[in-house]
């Protein structure tokens, strides 16, 4: 008689890069002992597109349509950081109206990003319904974007010194209607999810990060604020004109997946408060600082030489980036999105380093999933909120 031998050795499993819960092309090599995770090694680079190198061979204006491909769910933030860098290098003033329009767009984008975090996160832990609900609201945000910018996802709307176009007629009323409608929907999400016993069973006490750990790992955004640290770059750096609005930093002290969920839900409500105040107080005036078009263009670029005269049309004026270095950052939905920029008196940046929040938040994943069950990997990875476009760049 053959007695079935019980196997004592560990099992190594590949999760991804095709797994639907990986949210893109992330691959995890997991060492399992039964259901328990012994080790986890994330493997990146399946979506690497050399974005930093491309930036170093383009002028800022040429690169602007491309930046929305880093974090393709919070597209306005990538554009904001791309124009904020040169604006600070060249000391360019942004008109008040343009700043208000930017804030409205950024906060709408934050809502769209958090919605598309909430749906798949709930689907990962087995709740299908919110996945359909969030698309209903997200479509409305994208309709507003389409009306203002002409594009639903990749907008190319921000410009150095302002925005590309003014808000169309009737847009502000539509946006206010959306705000009122959206608050009722968020209440619906909370009623559906927040006290659901199965949901709480899956997220409460799962993936706990302590206060010191969060700081040591350099995490940012909802990951940081869910562990009891009130740090929001909109309050810290005072960029655009967030100081003129009345809103609260959302934070929790537990540091688990439930806390991160609550922080993001709270942020959506705060974003609506900011948008409503910005829409009601939006000033008149220009939406772009047109004077900057006359500054700092290259004096006599070689393209004006005789040899090049008949090749193509004249290139558009470029901004000469002064010879200095700069780190700019904004509070993106996933955390601190930053750019380290070195100019060297030419139209192209000499160095363009992207600091993506997802990449830095992802590094704590192996530590969080050790000694957890296999099913908890989904919960923890979902609560980190990564997007592979900016992790791999």
CB 131, CB 143: distance < 8 Å: no
- Convert the pLDDT of each residue in 226-241 to its tens digit: 999 999 999 898 888 8
List of residues 6+ apart from 90 with CB closer than 8 A? 160, 292, 295, 296, 319, 321, 322
Q: How would residue 321 be classed by pLDDT, with cut points 50, 70 and 90?
A: confident
pLDDT at 343 exceeding the cut of 90: no
What is the mean pLDDT of the segment spanning 355-380?
91
Q: Is 105 helix (H, G, I), strand (E, B) or coil?
A: helix
CB 335, CB 360: distance < 8 Å: yes
DSSP string, 265-277: HHHHHHHHHHHHH
Closest CA to 220 of 350, 312, 358: 358
List of residues 6+ apart from 250 with CB closer than 8 A? 222, 225, 262, 263, 266, 267, 270
Closest CA to 387 of 16, 60, 70, 45: 70
- Convert the pLDDT of each residue in 51-96 to its tens digit: 989 988 888 888 888 898 888 889 999 999 999 988 888 888 899 9
* Domains identified in the chain and CATH numbers: 9-293+304-390 (1.10.645.10)
Sheet holding 325-332, edge to edge: 325-332, 335-342, 351-355
The CA–CA distances, whole Å, from 386 to 66, 195, 281 equal 19, 25, 34
pLDDT value at position 245? 92
What is the mean pLDDT of the segment spanning 140-163?
91
pLDDT value at position 344? 86
Tell me the C-alpha distance between 214 and 364, whole Å.
9
pLDDT at 311 exceeding the cut of 90: no
- Convert the pLDDT of each residue in 175-195 to its tens digit: 999 999 999 999 999 999 999
Q: How would residue 303 be classed by pLDDT, with cut points 50, 70 and 90?
A: low
pLDDT value at position 88? 86
Omega of the bond leading into 372 within 30 degrees of 0 (cis) = no
| Phi-psi category of residue 5: left, alpha or beta, with phi > 0 → left and psi -120 to 50 → alpha | beta
Q: Is 42 helix (H, G, I), strand (E, B) or coil?
A: strand
Q: How would residue 345 be classed by pLDDT, with cut points 50, 70 and 90?
A: confident
Tell me the C-alpha distance between 249 and 33, whole Å.
41
Q: Tokens 């990449």 belong to which residue?
A: 359
What is the mean pLDDT of the segment spanning 90-117?
92
- Convert the pLDDT of each residue in 9-62 to its tens digit: 889 999 878 877 788 888 999 999 988 999 999 999 888 988 989 988 888 888
What value does the mean pLDDT of the chain take? 88
Closest CA to 239 of 85, 361, 114, 353: 85
Tell me the C-alpha distance between 103 and 16, whole Å.
36
pLDDT at 314 exceeding the cut of 70: no
% of the chain beyond a pLDDT of 70: 91
Tell me the C-alpha distance between 238 and 244, whole Å.
10
pLDDT value at position 289? 80
Tell me the C-alpha distance between 234 and 293, whole Å.
28
Tell me the C-alpha distance between 110 and 117, whole Å.
10
This prediction's pTM: 0.90
């Amino acid at each position: 008689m053959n007695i079935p031998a019980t196997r004592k050795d560990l099992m190594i499993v590949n999760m991804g890069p095709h797994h639907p819960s990986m949210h893109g092309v992330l691959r995890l090599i997991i060492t399992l002992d039964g259901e328990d995770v012994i080790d986890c090694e994330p493997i990146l680079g399946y979506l690497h597109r050399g974005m930093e190198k491309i930036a170093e061979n383009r002028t800022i204006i040429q690169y602007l349509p491309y930046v929305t491909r880093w974090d393709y769910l919070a597209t306005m933030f990538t554009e904001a950081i791309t124009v904020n860098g040169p604006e600070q290098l060249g000391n360019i003033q942004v008109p008040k109206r343009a700043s208000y329009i930017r804030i409205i767009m950024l906060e709408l984008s934050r809502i769209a990003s958090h919605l598309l975090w909430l749906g798949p996160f709930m689907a990962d832990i087995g709740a299908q319904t919110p996945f359909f609900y969030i698309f209903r609201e997200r479509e409305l945000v994208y309709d507003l974007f389409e009306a203002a910018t002409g594009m639903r996802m990749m907008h190319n709307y921000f410009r150095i010194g302002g925005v590309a176009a003014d808000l169309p007629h009737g847009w502000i009323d539509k946006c206010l209607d959306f705000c009122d409608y959206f608050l009722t929907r968020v209440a619906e999400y909370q009623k559906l999810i927040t006290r659901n016993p199965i949901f709480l069973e899956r997220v409460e006490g799962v993936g706990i990060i302590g206060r010191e750990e969060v700081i040591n790992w350099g995490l940012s955004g909802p990951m940081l604020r869910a562990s009891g640290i009130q740090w929001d770059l909109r309050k810290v750096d005072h960029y655009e004109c967030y100081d003129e609005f009345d809103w609260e930093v959302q934070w929790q002290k537990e540091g688990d997946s439930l806390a991160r969920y609550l922080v993001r839900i709270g942020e959506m409500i705060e974003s609506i408060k900011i948008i409503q105040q910005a829409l009601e107080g939006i000033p008149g005036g220009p939406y772009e600082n047109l004077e900057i078009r006359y500054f700092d263009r290259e004096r006599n670029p070689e393209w004006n030489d005789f040899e090049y005269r008949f090749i193509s049309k004249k290139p558009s004026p470029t901004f000469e980036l002064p010879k200095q270095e700069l780190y700019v950052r904004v509070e993106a939905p996933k955390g601190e999105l930053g750019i380290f920029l070195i100019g060297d008196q030419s139209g192209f940046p000499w160095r363009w380093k992207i600091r993506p929040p997802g990449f830095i938040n992802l590094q704590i994943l192996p530590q969080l999933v050790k000694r957890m069950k296999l099913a908890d990997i989904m919960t923890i990875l979902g609560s980190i909120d990564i997007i592979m476009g900016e992790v791999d760049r």
